[in-house]
A and B are shown apart, each in its own frame.
Chain A
């Protein structure tokens, strides 16, 4: 294989990995949006908290002398999901529930306030410096002729791909098959009517937030391990990108969020690969505008039917 081709393959692998990280966070966005039609601006912050909790647990367990990596990771996952879900639930309770029924911009602003609050809360509690964790999962596959260009694909990258695919499938099944999922879909159709039919909508919406937060925690764990670094400001940037990915794929659709994330990631990687990388955000936002011009509801979004 020629160098050009191997290089392209490597950049596609990179892009798909970045895309999967966006997708993991975007799924949470899209969940909440799909049910209550609101953007959860504090979602990125929950992801950041998930990362912090992961680091705390891993550092704590390593400090206590535990060596088995799988066990450490499982404990970290459970704790991170638990704590992040609690934060998600609290955000809903404090910033969304009291405002249900008012103009839809109101919760948006209170969520931005919540995001500023959480960011500064973590700064105060944990400091604003980067916290770094040594690589836990190392190694990977390489192929291609080392003399020409060696393509590498690490186990960690594979794990992220796998996790994205699994969460996407599991959630899609949950929404379409389970009883709770049916309640969620009912809520997104018509909140008032669902309530009349005896479904506890408050509970359903709270559950949506909890699931969204749990997904953010999974993303926090995986990306925390992958990059090995966390600071209180990672949530904001990641949240913005994930939000873009969710809209690109058609907000409200779970496969859409994943597709949007992947498209965004691959675009970024390819732009960095063949153009100066400082323009990658310009290209990806430009692509977003272009796609929305031709598909106003995103790649996989259902076109909105205007009803009179």
Chain B
């Protein structure tokens, strides 16, 4: 036993050596116009050696390490919550406290933190939208960013060409994104699994390329700048009113100007939008249509045998998810003040999907937690400078291994028979 353990550890160390020797150990360089290779420095070789040693030891003592980690209690988020009955009683209070907390919080922290929170809220909205499609209805969508782009560009273009305000554009963006979702969904929803995934991916790319190429309308790769920020009943959050006759917030309130009001105001709008979306989806999930989504995900054939129209069900999920992305998109445009097609690339779709999967598909709390994790992590990792994205990728792998069922797996209200 010990012997085979040793051999496998040796094997792992050998593999690590092979992985490292050519990629880290040798560097391609150009001398003049000739390509040449240079060996790594002694320091780098020491690091490689250390890495190999580490892998060897961790494999050799993997049993002990596993045993050690086995002893550590696995975090059970469910266990932290009180009993079912108590929870029901506590819930409204908790919710109220949470909402009040979210509203008061930005006044106490720094501007950067509020801004980051706003970004997180955008991802929460996106995650919740995709959650309907992937988590609830079980349709793999790799091009979700297309609807996000549609929402963002709707607001940007309408405000640029027609001077429409953010509040006017918000429903229009959602509506237009929903329309796109409907138009795409209609033909492709009879595809299964991965075929659907690739078609949505293609659709996402088509939208991005069209935005990039249609320079006359969208300004192409230069993007659209100077997108106005939302106003509070016509009050602007700028130092000086942009339009004639408009009033700024600080003039109206008779307080001195501070730019953090704008950041906080944006944050508060995001909070309201998120609460609205959560409420809406929560209601929908309890309506027949919500049940139908999940039924379809669990067993499509059974669903059809029971007389449910799968096209309607899938389309509704697709359309609703898209409209949420449209919402998030127009808010994103307002927060950025500048959008260009490069904000809507494929990796964005992948990250939103990762949020949904990491959260535990279908679970709203999970998606919210995962969105927080996925937006805050890269920011925290800023300390690691160029190692930032490396760690981000690694963490995605580690988190999936750590909790394959998601942070907070979805739970349905259900009864258990106790025998």
Contacts and interface: CB of A to CB of B under 8 A. Distances in A.
Contacts of B396: 109-110, 112-114, 116-117
B202 A288 contact: yes
B205 A285 contact: yes
B219 to A, nearest CB: 15
Interface stretch (B23-31, B73-81, B306-314): B23-31
Q: Chain A interface secondary structure, helix, strand, loop or mixed?
A: helix
Contacts of B209: 278-279, 281-282
Contacts of B387: 120, 124
B166 to A, nearest CB: 30
Contact of B35 (A105, A106, A121, A134): A134
Nearest to B300: A306
Interface string A254-286: 000000000000000000000000110110011
A217 to B, nearest CB: 12
B361 A56 contact: no
Contact of B393 (A63, A116, A279): A116
A68 interface: no
Contact of A131 (B30, B212, B354, B400): B30
Contact of B198 (A59, A288, A297): A288
Contact of A109 (B201, B357, B389): B357
Contacts of A251: 194-195
A110 B400 contact: yes
B19 interface: yes
Interface string A105-129: 1111110111111111111111100
B164 interface: no
B400 A99 contact: yes
Contacts, number: 181
Interface in A51-72: 52-53, 55-56, 58-60, 62-63
A108 B397 CA distance: 10
A224 B229 CA distance: 48
A83 B22 contact: yes
B206 interface: yes
A132 B35 contact: yes
A164 to B, nearest CB: 21
B397 A298 contact: no
Interface in B364-419: 386-387, 389-390, 392-397, 400-401, 404-405
A120 B390 contact: yes
B169 interface: no
Nearest to A287: B202
Contact of B206 (A120, A132, A282): A282
A112 B390 contact: no
A208 interface: no
B23 A125 contact: yes
B22 A56 contact: yes
A8 interface: no
A133 B35 contact: yes
Contact of B199 (A107, A120, A132, A288): A288
Contacts of B393: 113-120
Nearest to B39: A60
Contact of B187 (A118, A121, A289): A289
Contacts of B202: 244, 285-286, 288-289
B386 to A, nearest CB: 6
B301 interface: yes
A109 B400 contact: yes
A121 B357 contact: no
B15 to A, nearest CB: 6
Interface of A: 33, 39, 49, 52-53, 55-56, 58-60, 62-63, 79, 82-83, 86-87, 89-90, 94-95, 98-99, 102-103, 105-110, 112-127, 131-134, 240, 243-244, 247, 251, 278-279, 281-282, 285-286, 288-289, 292-293, 296-298, 304, 306, 308
Considering the complex of A and B, which 4 residue pairs feature the smallest CB-CB distances, nearest first? A113-B396, A117-B393, A116-B393, A285-B202
30 contacts: A33-B194, A56-B22, A56-B26, A59-B28, A83-B18, A90-B19, A95-B400, A98-B401, A102-B404, A102-B405, A103-B361, A103-B405, A105-B357, A106-B400, A109-B358, A113-B400, A114-B393, A116-B392, A124-B387, A124-B390, A131-B35, A134-B33, A240-B346, A243-B198, A247-B198, A285-B202, A285-B203, A292-B191, A296-B195, A306-B300
